[in-house]
Chains A and B, each alone.
Chain A
Amino acid sequence: MESELRRNRRMEALFGNDKRQILIVEDEEINRMILGNMLENQYAVSYAADGEEALEYIKEHHESISAVLLDLIMPKMDGFTLLRMLKDNPATKRIPILVMTGQKEAEVPSLLEGANDFIAKPYDMPEVIRARIGNAIRLSEDRRLIETAERDALTGLYARDFFYQYCEQMDRNVQGEKDAVAIDIDHFKLVNGLYGKEFGDKVLITIAETLLDVADHNGGIVGRANADTFLLYQPHQDDYGSFAAYLNKEVNSRLGNAHIRLRVGVYECVDQNIAVISRFDRARIACDRAKDNYSLSFERYDESFHKQQLESQRYIAAMDDAMKEQEFVIYYQPKYDMTGDAPKLGGAEALVRWNSKSEGLISPGKFIPLFEQNGLIYRLDLYIWNEVARQVKEWKQKYRFDFPVSVNVSRIDLFSPHLLQEILGIISRNGLSYRDIALEITESACATDTETVLAVVRSLRDYGFEIEMDDFGSGYSSLNMLSKMPINVLKMDMKFFQRSAGNDELMDAMVRLIIDFAKVMKVPVVAEGVEDKEQADYLKEIGCNMIQGYYFGRPMPAEDFEKLLKGMD
């Protein structure tokens, strides 16, 4: 509960801290004096002896009057007439009116005319009267306070929380399916920045007005959620494509041929059992998706996307604990050297698995792209590199082998200012050489911001790390960039070159092309994703140096890979 003190401060801020003014309308002077005597310590009291005099006074002072105490039976204009006039006038209807009467029968008609309370005659004790007046004033000021908070000051739309409450009210009062719609402005900050806040405000007001017209037409309500997001709750509409198009066209034409792009996200036929706020979260998720699709300015919310988002959020939240609990487990997939008569173990790629206590085994395809999106991948990669280095050190002490174990380096990692130091630290702490760990970098990591990436990769290679270009042929790199890339190994993933009826020749040709390209660059080729003997034989025949894939070995736990090392010895 809000403390009285704080409430008073808030009231003062809104209504000032002078004595509140009340008007006593009573024809009998003695009664006026008795009441005035009761109230003048607390209020600034004014008097009128009849309805007409009161009306004149109120017309001039309605802004400052906090309450009117009104006698009913008076000459010239009686209390009922005055009451009706005050309540009919928008400027005065907020003023609480306490009717003074000794007649019980007068109470109902007074209430019907809008009286807020009664003061009995003969008068109650002064404290009772003061309390009744105080309550009436407080109720009316609270109401004004609510009205102030209820509306967004700029657009006059409902503020968010009130909007949600009105949605609930609409659920109760209006039958049928309803849609939650979120509307936001593409690059609104840019609009503000380019054209100034004044124009930005004009945009917001125009959108609000347009939406109000739409809502009036469709029987919906509109609120403003934050800076540039508007919410609309309305009976179900069939065609949101046209809706979004209309909205865009109308707003821009009202603004005078502006180029504002509005995105519309719709959660259609909402589940009325879930909280209103969640319904609009869904509409906003859809709205965010419309961001990615420039050709279409509206998106529908769909359940699977939402589930995916929730899942992502769970994964992100769980990552820290998962590292502490060692839920991330490293698997090793062997690479076989095909250059001799028989395939020979010639390397391994370290791959991470997330064995979550709460979620079970989570596919790297789910969490790696997610962690790449938000940058968490760097911490996970550091963890993996440390773990792999520790493992390689242990194996080096037990077995003799001279190939590196490869780890993946995400594009995000390449932008960390501490990357080089971290990797060098890992190598030296484990007493390894730079030849013991190879770094796999995906081709797509090199596609943008080439200069930065090239510089980092070059310095890594200059230290002696073997750089493997992962997923070669799947990205968008230019040949020019590839020729500059300081790489030691090309890796191509056979899943990008799946043979199927009709394209055998083309796929085979592309694989040969990559191998030829590697020969020109004088780097070996590793084919991964090799699943059968036929594929393996063909790759060997055309000069592929190494093969990694289910055909030779799946990614396996460290103990299993250790058996392979032992066998080699």
Chain B
Amino acid sequence: MLSMETLKDYGVKTNQGLERCCNMEAFYFKMIAAAVGDANFEKLGKALEDKDLQAGFEAAHALKGITGNLALDPLYDAVCEIVEPLRTKEDRDYTEMYKKVMDARDRLAAII
């Protein structure tokens, strides 16, 4: 069940996220739900599979923006970790990093 408490327990800076949503709790929750279901998670996975680092960067960058704005810190931190090497098109193994991102998302999805 999604609540401020469960979000806090997960590690969300709910104060910041809620403020950005003008303290509209329902709106905030709606945005979080939308973020969890964002297509960029899958796009990122596909891009990494295809070794398309540019597409990977774009997807990760988009996720960084969204998760940052909603203050979903555990997810945001994981995304930040992957976005930087992708920005510089670093040729490396992204499996672990991507797994971290997806784990964080899944944990959040579980709350919802």
Contacts and interface: CB of A to CB of B under 8 A. Distances in A.
Contact of B35 (A27, A30, A75, A126): A30
A33 B31 contact: yes
A122 B13 CA distance: 13
Given A123-B20, A125-B20, A126-B20, A30 B34 contact: yes
A71 B61 CA distance: 12
Nearest to B32: A30
Given A123-B20, A126-B22, A34 B31 contact: yes
Contacts of A226: none
B69 A30 contact: yes
A122 B62 CA distance: 11
Contacts of B22: 37-38, 126
A102 B20 contact: no
Contacts of B65: 28, 31, 71, 102, 121-122
B93 to A, nearest CB: 24
A73 interface: yes
A30 B38 contact: yes
Contacts of B102: none
Interface string B91-103: 0000000000000
Interface in B17-41: 19-22, 24, 27, 31, 34-35, 38
Please classify the interface of chain B as helix (H, G, I), strand (E, B), loop, or mixed, using the class held by over half of its residues.
Answer: helix
Contacts of A29: 34
A31 B67 CA distance: 10
Contacts of A28: 62, 65-66
B105 interface: no
Contact of A31 (B16, B24, B66): B66
B69 A122 contact: yes
Contacts of A73: 58, 61
Given A30-B35, A37-B27, A75-B58, A122 B68 contact: yes
A30 B34 CA distance: 7
Contacts of A121: 65, 68-69
B38 A125 contact: no
B58 A30 contact: no
B71 A122 contact: yes
A126 B24 CA distance: 12
Interface string B33-77: 011001000000000000000000010011011101111000000
Nearest to B68: A122
B19 A34 contact: no
A102 B68 contact: yes
A123 B19 CA distance: 10
Given A37-B27, A73-B61, A30 B19 contact: no
Contact of A126 (B19, B38, B61, B71): B19
A28 B68 CA distance: 13
Contacts of A34: 20-21, 31, 69-70
Nearest to A125: B19
A102 to B, nearest CB: 7
Nearest to B19: A125
Contacts of A126: 19-20, 22
B109 to A, nearest CB: 15
A133 to B, nearest CB: 15
A117 B62 CA distance: 21
Contacts of A71: 65
Interface string A9-51: 0000000000000000001111101100110000000000000
A38 B61 CA distance: 22
A379 to B, nearest CB: 74
Contacts of B16: 122
A27 B61 CA distance: 11
Contacts of B62: 27-28
A100 B16 CA distance: 18
A152 to B, nearest CB: 46
Contacts of A125: 19-20
Contacts of A122: 16, 20, 65, 68-69, 71
Contacts of B24: 37
A162 to B, nearest CB: 43
A31 B69 contact: yes
A102 B58 contact: no
Nearest to B87: A103
Interface string A121-142: 1110110000000000000000
Nearest to A39: B22
A297 B55 CA distance: 75
A102 B79 CA distance: 14
A30 B66 contact: yes
Interface in A470-503: none
Contacts of A31: 65-66, 69
Contacts of A102: 64-65, 68
Contacts of A33: 31, 34
Nearest to A29: B34
A196 B61 CA distance: 67
Given A28-B62, A30-B34, A38-B22, 19 more contacts: A27-B62, A30-B31, A30-B35, A30-B69, A31-B65, A34-B31, A34-B70, A37-B22, A73-B61, A102-B65, A102-B68, A121-B69, A122-B65, A122-B69, A122-B71, A123-B20, A125-B20, A126-B20, A126-B22
18 contacts: A28-B65, A29-B34, A30-B31, A30-B66, A33-B31, A33-B34, A34-B70, A37-B27, A75-B58, A102-B68, A121-B68, A121-B69, A122-B68, A122-B69, A122-B71, A123-B20, A123-B69, A126-B22
- Which 7 A-B residue pairs are closest in the complex by CB-CB distance? A122-B68, A30-B66, A122-B69, A28-B62, A30-B34, A123-B69, A123-B20
